[in-house]
Amino acid sequence: MPERVEIVPYDAEWPAHFREIAAALKTLLGDRMLDIHHIGSTSIPGMAAKPLIDIDVNMPTAADVIDACPLMEAAGYEPRGNRYDADIFAFMKRATTPRQRIYLCPEGHDTHHRRIQFRDYLRTHPQAAADYQALKLKLAERFEYDGDGYTAAKAAFVNDIVARARKR
């Protein structure tokens, strides 16, 4: 059965959840990991979001990403396969509250850079953040049980914000 696209009010505990997850991932991945970033709507103060902590873990190379996959699975993360292209692998942990989605990314990958630019732009442009939140709420109703449709319908907005961020 498809999962419901649920948007909840901002939870001031989301940053603390990120820090806890990040510490566990640092222990799990050790020197394989270059850095770790809280991404997605839960990383934007005040933003309503799906109750899901999204995290990018940067690794030195695509080979390091592949090597880390068995460690993620052994730690209870469900493999979600390649995302965005062949070099990024996604993992979910649904049994936690909030849920966790981890992306293993090779260093310098544009998808990671786009996510950081999007996040940072919304953090510093309240009107853009408010517009994004309104769009998300509207799309969550329209695509209540269609997560792919929900994500696709946000793409033009996200691309516009990334383009604005890159001009700064």
Q: Which two tokens stand for residue 101?
A: 């989605």
Q: At what angle are helices 14-29 and 62-74 packed, to 10 degrees?
A: 100
Closest by CA to 147, choosing from 39, 38, 76, 50, is 50
The predicted-structure confidence for 124-140, as pLDDT tens digits, reads as follows 999 999 999 999 999 99
The radius of gyration computed from the CA coordinates of the chain, to the nearest angstrom, equals 16
- The predicted model scores a pTM of 0.94
Measured at the CA of 119, the angle between CA 116 and CA 120, to 5 degrees, comes to: 85
Quick count: other Cβ atoms within 10 Å of Cβ 106? Answer: 19
Which of 32-36, 85-89, 149-153 shows the lowest per-residue confidence on average (mean pLDDT)? 85-89
State how far the Cα of 168 lies from the Cα of 166, in Å rounded to an integer. 5
Count of alpha carbons within 13 Å of 8, Cβ hemisphere only? 11
In tens, the pLDDT along 62-105 reads 999 999 999 999 999 999 988 666 789 999 999 999 999 999 99
